[in-house]
Structure 1
Amino acid sequence: MSVDVNDYLESVLTDSGVCGKFQLLFYCLVYGSMVPAAFSVLMMAFGGIEPHWSCYWLSKNGLLLNVTSQMMCKPDNSTIEAVCISKTFDSSMSTIVDKVIILQVSKSVTIKNMSVDVNDYLESVLTDSGVCGKFQLLFYCLVYGSMVPAAFSVLMMAFGGIEPHWSCYWLSKNGLLLNVTSQMMCKQDNSTIEAVCISKTFDSSMSTIVDKWDLTCDKEWIISTITTIQLAGLLFGAFMSGQIGDLFGRKPTFFLSFIMLFTFNLLAAFSVSWQMFAVLRFFIGISSGWYLTIYIIILAELTSTKYRSGIVAFPAWPIGTMIFGLFCWILHDWQNIQITTSILCLPWLIGLCFVPESYRWFVSRNKINEAHQVLIKIAKLNGKPPPDFVKLCDVIAMSKTENTRDRKHTVVDILKTKHLLKDTLLLNVCWISCGYGYFAISFGVQQLSGNLYLNIVLLGLVDVVQILVSFIANKIGRKRTTFIFFAVAGITGIVVGILQFLDLNNKGQLVNGFAFTSKMCVNSGWISLIILTSEIYPTVVRNVGFGLNNSVARVGAMTAPQLVFASKHIPGLSYLLLGGLFLLSCICLVFLPETNRKALKDTIDENEGL
């Protein structure tokens, strides 16, 4: 540009106004943006300041020294080799110095493996922080509330896989349209004319994946296969959750499972083929298995011994099942149910951000500072005094068992420990029975007489009885409670199987009555088994052990849809197998240890004499 052009541009700007509203707004915006820019540049002028701090020392032989030093990285004038296990910072300011150092200290501390005294102390600390306060109210509401979309996710195929009534229009081989329709028949009955079905008309009172992709006759096997694929996902999810939960913490695993439930349920609603739907149901299964494993662990570890069985036995799942039946009746459309499930995830997804990490997991990973912070939050919400950090360190430091050095435990630790391997194999049989029994009855709901939606609700309603499991398990023990429910479930299951062979006038009512009784006992026995399982394993492998059993349960669950399908041709097959499995499980229970009224164990060694 020439000088004349520059002068002209200056004059144009001047003529447009130099001190008007535009300039006022423009300068305010530009100068105002300088404030956060200054904050960004100068933040380290404050954030890098080192607040005053003092240090608590742990000697090399595991003794907590009665010495504190002001802003010193080594004990002053001390001949004893020691490491700083905790720094207490001036609370008048918080900078990255106290944040980073706390993290480093928790990772560098050398702590002995936890003894039985430590377990008792951790129980007492939780009790002293409050067991029935505001924290528990908020915590249980969030965890139990999240069970509703999880129940929707697992049980969707109980409705979505139902075959609506349909009729067929026939075309003869010579091209003539026959003036005949048949109700749910894949071939013409008593007809000498060869014909093919050219069109199916489905009952419009409900919409499932069957009418969406015409999964009838020679495609009928696809329905049970999709359900089996979903339950295979539960198997993988349960096992993955156990390992990831023990390695990376309960809270991140819990939160991630819900993100996956929200995402895959929404995508499944817009499936364009049954193949795509089957793949997404597999990932929904993984998400559900992930969730169902980790929620029990985080509940057990943040609940005191006195109330643990009651918390696990709360009928959150049956309530979710009943709500699912209600929504099926209102929506009666599989796609709307999938979308609703995804929407129901959102409020709990936000709420779960406030669920704390398990303080026991922190302690098992030698992260004592983080464990103490969780306990402080619990005590503060419940209006109780915070636990003594020095005493917590002292109890752990004085334990006499071998050093763990923050070792990561895996399923291998279970398999190579004789008593844990024995317990695991016995529990596996029980969990397989529960997985098969629960889903054989749930996904076979269409085979019961009466109203479909009412039967779904009733299957959830009979499970509310599980709330009594807490009282019974505390009174007579976890093992005996499980045994009683399993025995009744097995006997009633065999009765249903026999009834389905017979031709009786009131057969429908009898089958329903015994089937609902069997379902009630299967679920209640499973709840008692969950309590027993979560208490048998020590903290370092609790999530792995629970996840392993949960995975094995899905093996039983995966067979359930196939046997329900086979029962259409061989009446009573699925229930007779159910009865046999639960009676076998009763025998296995005899050889398992009782855990009633005992503190949770934290390490493998101390579990030897349980």
Structure 2
Amino acid sequence: MMMMDQESSSPLNRHEQDDVDIGDDEDETDAASAPKPVTFDTFEQVLSAVGSFGAYHWAFIIVMQFSIVMWCGNFVFMPYATYMPTVECHVNGSVVVHDHRNATFFCELYSGGHCTNVTWEAPFRTIIEQWGLLCDLDYVPELINTIQMVGTLVALFFTGVLSDKFGRKRVFTVCFVVLMVACYLGTLAPDWQTLAASRFVVGGLISATFVVNFVWSMEMTGQDNNFVMNLAGLWHFGYISTALIGYLTRDWQLYLLILDAIGLPLLFFYTCFVESPRWLIQKGRLEKAAKQLTRMSQRNQSACNRVLITSDSLSAIPQERDGKRHGLLTLLSSRRLLLYTFLLSLITFATASASYAFVFQVSLLSGSPFVKLAMYGAFRIYIPFVLYYADRKLDWFGRREMIYIPMLIVCLCYTMATMSEVLTGSSNMIAMMAGAVCCNCLWTGIGQYQMELFPTRLRSTSSSVVLMFDPLASVFMPQLVYAERYYHPAPVMEVALVTFIALVAAYTMLPETKGRPLPDTLDDVAELGYERAMRPWKRLRRLLCDTGNDTELLANMEADVEPIDGAM
């Protein structure tokens, strides 16, 4: 009886044991799949864990491309809106055409009200036709161009500092909203003065939002892929799209409305992206950085889903020393950072001069402005692929070569354009466009250096300071375009000269940063190749300051020479 009980109970015991074993296996599986805490020593390790380039980054690139259409469209708005139409004054059965040969006679008729009928012919309804900006008001288009770029100077000065202080996402969102509102108000402008005020705000926030967006995107990308994110920020797609929008709308007010309609849904998409974790870590907000990194890993579906990221995981990443202030004064007080800022500012000024010399003269060159700008964008399409191949496949092609090789080409192109202006008196459009296209390579190199030469808590400030020389060039360029009426080669001659100076500076002083992660602290910046940048200055100092010691050095050398036996 007892044996029966034991035998009958044994299967039950076995089933219970199996249930226990299965339960243990499930617990072991759950334990194996559960996120495990881990500690990171560098931010590059964090990005490798969450996915340094995945679905999250591709989504950001797609949204960025539509943003570029809005930025680029507003950037080239003034060349479109100020395209000089063919104006005919009909008086007493004859027609007087407005051009430089009979401008005085035409203005006497036009301003005196003697024209019985005035006809305007242009591929785009411009503000010149809207408000009659001829004769006594012919300075207004260049003035609005200048006002727009002065706004860029003001906005860049503040947004860079604010972005380093309050975060990339917050500052970008506020500036993007103001940009769209100002763009819309410009379409309602009753006079050119109101439009100028609108362009002051819009012009400032085009560059401001682009810079903050660029820093934001680069800081979320790992060392091996941030160059791809840099290439994604180029404007070739924007120029082609802008030319198409201008051709289809053919009216400056409708053109601005379309740009605003493109930007409106982008605001929602940008709210879906997280704040820069790299910036959060350097600000000491480790807990929020951990949450943002977890969200990135989930969207990338990376292996980090099996890793638990907490504030303790990020505590070992180097941060700036407590109590150390960061801002514009820090950027200017460091000799190393000041030299880097000077070099990049000079290169930026030269590159912007070459770009604006072409863009601002589009309305003066023969042919449709839409076709020329579409060609300008189309000729730039291949550049990202060439740069990507060179960066990945050519060991000798570093960041320095990305600057001085295209700068040499730009200098040669505008030298040819200058010779054409002087010898033939006509614009060499092919040479100017070739030089402007090569500026795309330069903008890529400038952007990469901005990220790789400055620490996280100064990155947005330094980028803004450097890019302030872009509007400085554009403020200067319209005046040269205006001066072209008195000396035709002035714009291209200035570009040829300044690009040559920048070429010499870039070749002799720029350090190489290829293969290095983005620096997070000032100590990281100290590890860069500073000696190469200082070498020309040291040579100049020795040349100027050490010549007085030649006599003393020669005397010491003679005193050390022992007499030879048998001499005398």
- With normalisation by structure 2, the TM-score equals 0.79
Q: Secondary structure of the residue that 2:363 maps to in structure 1?
A: helix
Report the Cα offset of residue 452 of structure 1.
2.4
The 2-side partners of 1:146 and 1:165 are apart by: 34
Is 1:238–1:292's contact at 8 Å kept on the other side of the alignment?
Answer: no
Structure 2 Cα separation of the partners of residues 325 and 394 of structure 1: 49
Paired residues of 1:540 and 1:604 also in contact (CA < 8 A)? no
Q: CA deviation at 1:521?
A: 1.0
SS of 2:519 mapped into structure 1: coil
The answer on whether the counterparts of 1:318 and 1:464 sit within 8 Å (CA) in structure 2 is yes
SS at match of 1:304: coil
Alpha carbons of 1:366 and 1:164: their partners in 2 closer, same or farther (altered >3 Å)? same
- The 1:198–1:472 alpha-carbon spacing in structure 2 relative to 1, beyond 3 Å, is farther
Which of 465, 472, 490 matches 2:390? 472
Q: 1:319 to 1:189 in 2, by over 3 A?
A: closer
Give the distance between the partners of 2:390 and 2:383, measured in 1 at CA: 10
For residues 187 and 309 of structure 2, the distance between their equivalents in structure 1, rounded to whole angstroms, comes to: 54
Further displaced range: 478-487 or 131-140: 131-140
566, 573, 585: which one aligns with 2:483: 566
Out of 82, 89, 112, the residue aligned to residue 168 of structure 1 is: 89
Q: 1:187/1:442 Cα in 2 relative to 1: closer, same or farther (>3 Å)? A: closer
Aligned residues: 480
Counterpart residue type for residue 124 of structure 2: M
The CA distance in 1 between the partners of 2:309 and 2:256, in whole Å, is 51
Residue deviations 1:76-97, cap 9 Å, x none? xxxxxxxxxxxxxxx9xxxxxx
Alpha-carbon distance in structure 2 between the residues aligned to 1:465 and 1:578: 24
How much has 1:423 moved relative to structure 2? Answer: 1.1
Tell me if the contact between 1:257 and 1:288 (Cα under 8 Å) persists in the aligned partners. Answer: no
Cα 1:292–1:198 change in 2 (3 A) is: farther
Q: SS in structure 2 opposite 1:202?
A: strand
Does the 8 Å CA contact 2:286/2:315 hold for their aligned counterparts?
no
**Matching residue of 2:94:** 180
The answer to whether structure 1 residue 513 and structure 2 residue 434 are counterparts is: no
Do the aligned residues in 2 keep the contact of 1:314 with 1:466 (CA within 8 Å)? no
How far is 1:126 from its partner? 0.7
Computed over aligned residues only, the root mean square deviation of the Cα atoms, in angstroms, reads 2.5
Alignment match, 2:290: 372
Measured in 2, the distance between the counterparts of 1:524 and 1:569 equals 33
Counterpart of 1:242 in structure 2 is 160
Equivalent pair of 1:129/1:387 in contact (CA under 8 Å): no
Superposed CA offset, 1:520-546 (max 9, x none): 112221221111122110111011101
Q: Give 2:63's aligned residue.
A: 142
Structure 2 vs 1, CA of residues 469 and 246 (structure 1 numbering), >3 Å: closer, same or farther?
same
Matches within 5 A, 1:237-316: 237-314=155-232, 316=234
Residues 37-52 of structure 1 mapped to structure 2, 5 A cutoff: none
**Equivalent-residue separation in structure 2 for 1:417 and 1:387 (angstroms):** 43
- For residues 296-445 of structure 1, the aligned pairs below 5 Å read 296-314=214-232, 316-384=234-302, 385-386=304-305, 393=312, 396-397=315-316, 403-405=321-323, 407-445=324-362
2:320, 2:402 → 1: CA distance?
A: 36
After superposing the two structures, state which structure 1 stretch, 243-252 or 438-447, moved more. Answer: 438-447
Offset of residue 391 of structure 1 = 8.0
C-alpha deviation, 1:315, in angstroms: 5.8
Deviation at 1:316, TM superposition (A): 4.4
Structure 2 residue matching 1:181: 3-state secondary structure: strand
Report how far residue 338 of structure 1 moved: 1.2
CA, structure 1 residues 393+226, in 2 after alignment: closer, same or farther (shift >3 Å)? Answer: same
Which residue of the partner structure matches residue 511 of structure 2?
Answer: 593
Distance in 2 (CA, whole Å) between partners of 1:398 and 1:503 is 62
Matched, 1:198 2:114: yes
3-state DSSP of counterpart to 2:367: coil
Task: Measure, in 1, the Cα distance between the counterparts of 2:375 and 2:391.
Answer: 24
Deviation at 1:390, TM superposition (A): 6.8
Counterparts in 2 of 1:113-152, with a 5 A limit?
121-152=42-73
User: Which residue in 2 is equivalent to 1:79?
Assistant: none
Counterpart of 2:96 in 1: which secondary structure?
strand
Secondary structure of residue in 2 paired with 1:576: helix
Taking a change above 3 Å as real, the CA distance of residues 597 and 398 of structure 1, as seen in their structure-2 partners, is closer
**8 Å Cα contact 1:376-1:387 kept in structure 2:** no
Q: Which ranges in structure 2 are unaligned for 5 or more consecutive residues?
A: 1-33, 529-568
Q: Cα distance, 1:411 vs. partner? A: 0.8
Q: Secondary structure at the match of 1:234?
A: helix
The 1:258–1:390 alpha-carbon spacing in structure 2 relative to 1, beyond 3 Å, is closer
Q: Could you say which residue in structure 2 is the equivalent of 1:542?
A: 459
Give 1:302 shift: 0.8
Q: Secondary structure at the residue paired with 1:502?
A: helix
Where 1:167 maps in the other structure, the secondary structure is strand
Structure 1 residue 464: Cα displacement: 2.2
Displacement of 1:569:
3.4
CA distance in 2, matches of 1:254, 1:125: 24
Contiguous gaps of at least 5 residues in structure 1 = 1-90, 92-116, 171-177
**Post-superposition offset of 1:251:** 0.3
| C-alpha deviation, 1:473, in angstroms | 4.2
> Deviation of residue 128 (structure 1)?
2.0
User: Is the Cα–Cα contact under 8 Å of residues 84 and 122 in structure 2 kept in the other structure?
Assistant: no
CA 189–374 in structure 1, closer or farther in 2 if over 3 Å, else same: closer
The one-letter amino acid paired with 1:596 is K
Per-residue CA distance 1:1-25 (angstroms, 9 max, x = gap)? xxxxxxxxxxxxxxxxxxxxxxxxx
Identity of paired residues, percent?
21
Equivalent position of 2:80 in the other structure = 159
* 1:241 and 1:289 in contact (8 A); partners too: no
1:479–1:237 Cα change, 3 Å: same
Taking the aligned partners of 1:360 and 1:271, their CA distance within structure 2 comes to 42
**Structure 1 residue 370, shift from structure 2 partner:** 1.0
Other-structure match for 2:442: 525
Structure 1 counterpart of 2:254, one-letter code: N
| CA 1:431–1:189: 2 relative to 1, 3 Å | closer
- Using the TM superposition, give the Cα deviation of residue 189 of structure 1 relative to its aligned residue in structure 2, in angstroms: 8.2
Letter in 2 for 1:604: L
The 1:208/1:374 distance shift into structure 2, 3 A limit, reads same
Determine which structure has the larger strand proportion and give its number: 1
Q: Distance in 2 between matches of 1:387 and 1:239?
A: 43
The residue type equivalent to 1:127 in the other structure is S
* CA shift for structure 1 position 197: 5.3
**Superimposed CA distance per residue, residues 472-517 of structure 1 (whole angstroms, 9 cap, x where no aligned partner):** 345411111111011101110111122123338xx66xx2221111
How far the C-alpha of 1:221 sits from its partner, in A, is 1.2
Residue equivalent to 2:562:
none
**1:169 offset after TM fit, Å?**
3.6
C-alpha distance in structure 2 between counterparts of 1:343 and 1:402, whole Å:
42
* Residue 609 (structure 1) shift: 2.8
Of residues 405, 422, 427, the one that matches 1:501 is: 422
User: 1:210 maps to which residue?
Assistant: 128
Amino acid at match of 2:487: I
Distance in 1, Cα, partners of 2:73 & 2:140:
21
Secondary structure class of the residue paired with 1:135: helix
Write the distance in 1 (CA, Å) between the matches of 2:377 and 2:486. 27
CA shift digits 1:414-454 (9 cap, x unpaired):
11111101111121111111222212211211233333221
